[in-house]
Each structure stands twice: as structure tokens, then as C-alpha cells.
Amino acid sequence: MKPIELHLYLPFSYWLDRDPDSGAPLQRPEERRVAAYLQALCAELGSMREDYDDCEIAAIRFRGGYLSLLDAEELRRLLIAVHRCFAVRKGCPVCGVLFPGRLDMELIAAYRDLRVSPLLFEVPSLSFRECGRLGFPVALQALDRTAYFLGSFGESEWGLRLPIGIAGRTESYWDFVRGQLFHYRPKYLQFFSLTPGMDEGPGFKRLCGELQRSGYRRAAENCFALSESVPLLLLEPGQGSEYVGAGLGARSLIDGYRVQSTADPARYFQNCRDSRSLIERVEKAEG
């Protein structure tokens, strides 16, 4: 069977919805919206079964929104639907971005049981001032609690995902970031705003040197690790890797073609039981 990745799209964010009175970020979208979307996503997966009966799912990535928007039972039900609709390789890893502060004993147990690893947390910045300016004032306090919680449970397979822009940063900014990173010292670091060939600037280059001298190795253009091995799902699919996407705005690369599904919610919910009718664009992949 041909090994492929499955990319599941979650079009929700903790920060998309705000309290209408105070303007403060809400913890998550309405339960009914999440439940309705998961029901539609499971229906789409069911309609894909025959199209991919010669494929084996080797890895599952959550794209778009935050995996931690799902509670333990929602995540379990969704992965059960995946196993019902596809051949899934034994030990298939799962990865998605989490918002710090959502962890409890039940979620830690569920993540371990469902092979979610590493736990990859995203914060908008490591600067309190910038978090406040962007409207995410609780991000670092939540990260403090999460790091303490993970340490208490002996969980070391976790990392930080930082949307750090390079241009226009001052030396004092990079000094602050360096101090924060060495304070948390996660096993993995991902700077997801970096792209191949980008001019990294002197401040970031010095930060990279400090990281490498303190035990981190640069495993990819935007990824550092404290270990020799880096989990597959921290890296983008390699050249020639094939993947199939499901959900609102999903993308696939399969049999030499790039496929784009609809990002229109009305069309998606109306046609979720027929995955072929969700296709918006198909083009031949280069190379």
C-alpha cells in the first residue's frame, strides 16, 4: 500500500472570537460550531474511503486551527473515524499546534494514548508588551503554567512554535527572546515565519549561535532540537511525499496533482458527504 499523510483542517482559533462587551479573547468557539464541524469532517472522511483504499496513512497532521480546541473525547472520536475510513499504519504519529494553558491530566493521558507527540505550543510572541499589543495578554502566563505542569508530569517531548518576524527587531528584543527561551528550554523550537533563503539578520543569527552553543542543533531551516532525532511531524513533508487533506480549505498532493478544496463554509457543509464535489482546483504538480 502507498504511504501518505492525512492532513485534517480545523478552521478555528481561540483568538478569532472575542467577548462583545470587553473585547477579551474567548477560550474557544461555541461548542455547537465545533461539534457541527467535526460531524461534517467525519462525513467527508467517510466519503473518501473508496478513493484511498490502496493507501496507508503514515502520519496525521492537524492544520489551520488549534488541536487543543478539541477535548479528549472529541479528539478520540475524530481519530476513530480516521481509522474506520482508512488503513492506518501501526504507531501512526499525530501532531498539531496547541494553545498553552489547556492541559490537564485527562488531556495528557489522551495525547499519550492517541500518539500525539511532540506537544507543540504556539505563542504569538515571547514579549509581554507585544502579546498585549496583539491582544493576547494571557499567552505567556498560560505558557508558564503549562511548562510547570509538563515538568510535574515528567513530559519532555514538547516544543515551542514562535511566529517571530525577522525584519526590524532590535538587539534588546533578541536579548529578551534569548532569555525566555533559555528559561523554558523546550526540547524543540520552531520559528514558523522563516522561509528558505530569507535574510535572517544579525540579531537572529546571534540567537542561533547561542542556541547551538547551549546544546540545540539546527535540524531544519526553521527548527532546532535538543536531541539528535527530530520527530517527523515537526518537519514539512519531504520532496515527493504525498498527502491528502480533509476539511474546510484542505489541500492535497496525490498522484502528481495538487488539489484545493473549497474554503466556503456553506458549500462545505452542504457537500461534505461527497468529497469530490468539494474540489475547487486541480493542477499538475511541478517536477
Q: What is the pLDDT of residues 254-272, one digit of tens each?
A: 988 999 999 999 999 999 9
Q: Of 12, 34, 14, 35, which is closest to residue 26 (Cα–Cα)?
A: 14
| Mean pLDDT value of segment 262-283 | 94
Please tell me whether residue 141 adopts helix, strand or coil conformation: helix
Q: Can you tell me the distance from the alpha carbon of 226 to that of 212, in angstroms, rounded to the nearest whole number?
A: 9
**Structure-model confidence comparison of residues 239 and 38, the more confident one:** 38
**Structure-model confidence comparison of residues 211 and 109, the more confident one:** 211
Q: Of 53, 82, 51, 44, which is closest to residue 274 (Cα–Cα)?
A: 44
pLDDT of residue 165: 61
pLDDT band (50, 70, 90) for residue 276:
very high
Angle at Cα 79 formed by Cα 73 and Cα 82, nearest 5°?
150
pLDDT of residue 152: 82
Q: Which residues contact 270 (CB under 8 A, 6 or more apart)?
A: none
Q: What is the percent of the chain with per-residue pLDDT over 90, rounded to a whole number?
A: 40
pLDDT of residue 83: 95
Query: For residues 208 and 220, is the Cβ–Cβ distance under 8 A?
Result: no
CATH value of 118-230 in 1.10.3470, 3.30.70, 2.70.98, 3.30.750: 3.30.750
pLDDT of residue 128: 60
Query: For residues 244 and 7, is the Cβ–Cβ distance under 8 A?
Result: yes
Residue type, 195: T
Residue 173 scores a pLDDT above 50: yes
Q: Can you tell me the distance from the alpha carbon of 29 to that of 20, in angstroms, rounded to the nearest whole number?
A: 13
pLDDT band (50, 70, 90) for residue 8:
very high
What is the per-residue burial (b if ≥16 Cβ within 10 Å, else e) of 154-184? ebebbbbbbebeeeebeeebbebbbebbeeb
Q: Of 256, 264, 263, which is closest to residue 282 (Cα–Cα)?
A: 256
pLDDT of residue 271: 95
Residue 240 scores a pLDDT above 90: no
> Where along the chain do its domains lie?
1-112+235-287, 118-230
Query: For residues 242 and 4, is the Cβ–Cβ distance under 8 A?
Result: yes
Residue 101 scores a pLDDT above 80: no
Q: Can you tell me the distance from the alpha carbon of 229 to that of 215, in angstroms, rounded to the nearest whole number?
A: 13
pLDDT band (50, 70, 90) for residue 22:
very low
134 vs 17, 25, 138, 193, CA distance in Å? 14, 11, 11, 17
Question: Across 101-105, 120-124, 146-150, 208-212, which has the greatest mean pLDDT?
Answer: 208-212
Residue 125 scores a pLDDT above 70: no
Q: What is the mean pLDDT of the chain?
A: 82
Cis peptide, bond prior to residue 25, ω within 30 of zero: no
| DSSP H or E run through 33 | helix 31-47
| DSSP H or E run through 191 | strand 188-191
Q: Can you tell me the distance from the alpha carbon of 223 to that of 235, in angstroms, rounded to the nearest whole number?
A: 8
The overall pTM is greater than 0.75: yes
Q: What is the percent of the chain with per-residue pLDDT over 70, rounded to a whole number?
A: 81
Going by their DSSP bridges, the two strands 257-261 and 217-220 should be labelled as unpaired
**Structure-model confidence comparison of residues 285 and 168, the more confident one:** 285
